[in-house]
């Protein structure tokens, strides 16, 4: 009997570990937006909570933010999750929305549209 319980506990512990590591390494926890393109920031860090946003108004799924376009057309069910916005939005050739505007347009427009979430500089950029 005791052996059986120990066995069950062991299995539960392993399962817990797996779930924990998925959360810890998927990069989708709450935290600060740290796009690698901004090596020297001029504004304070921006806090962002993935999990909260997955339940927020206006968010359909991951691709609401992690979108994919082809020939200028949004591919509705494709997602670019796992890629940084800067991998596409560096805007050197001028035909894509520049990175800072890409962030501001995506975050801010939705907050304005949904009348929820911060819309001022200081509301998003927390001074260190």
The verdict on 127 binding ligand HEC (CB under 6 A) reads no
Residue among 107, 112, 127, 128 that touches ligand HEC (CB under 6 A): 107
DSSP conformation letters of 20-81: HHHHHHSS-SSEE---TT-SS-SS-EEEE-HHHHHTSTT--SGGGTS--EETTEE-TT---T
Minimum distance from residue 9 beta carbon to ligand HEC (Å): 31
Distance CA 61, CA 54 (A): 7
Number of residues that bind ligand HEC (CB under 6 A): 60
Q: Please, is 43 exposed, middle or buried when counting C-beta atoms within 10 Å of its C-beta (0-12, 13-18, 19+)?
A: middle
Distance CA 127, CA 121 (A): 10
Residues of span 14-73 touching ligand HEC by CB under 6 A: 26-28, 33-35, 38, 41-43, 46-48, 50, 52-54, 56-59, 62, 64-69
The verdict on 90 binding ligand HEC (CB under 6 A) reads no
Cβ distance to ligand HEC smaller for residue 6 or 34: 34
Give the interface with ligand HEC as residue ranges (CB under 6 A).
26-28, 33-35, 38, 41-43, 46-48, 50, 52-54, 56-59, 62, 64-69, 80-89, 96-97, 100, 102-108, 110-111, 114, 116-121, 123-125
């Amino acid at each position: 009997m005791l052996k059986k319980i120990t066995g069950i506990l062991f299995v539960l512990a392993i399962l817990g570990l797996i779930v924990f590591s998925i959360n810890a390494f998927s990069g989708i926890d709450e935290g600060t937006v740290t796009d690698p393109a901004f090596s020297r920031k001029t504004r304070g860090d921006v806090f962002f909570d993935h999990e909260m946003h997955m339940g927020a108004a206006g968010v359909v799924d991951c691709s609401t933010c992690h979108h994919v376009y082809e020939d200028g057309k949004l591919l509705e069910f494709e997602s670019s999750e796992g890629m940084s916005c800067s991998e596409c939005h560096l805007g050197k050739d001028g035909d894509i929305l520049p990175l800072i505007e890409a962030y501001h347009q995506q975050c801010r427009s939705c907050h304005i549209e949904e009348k929820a979430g911060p819309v001022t500089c200081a509301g998003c950029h927390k001074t260190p």
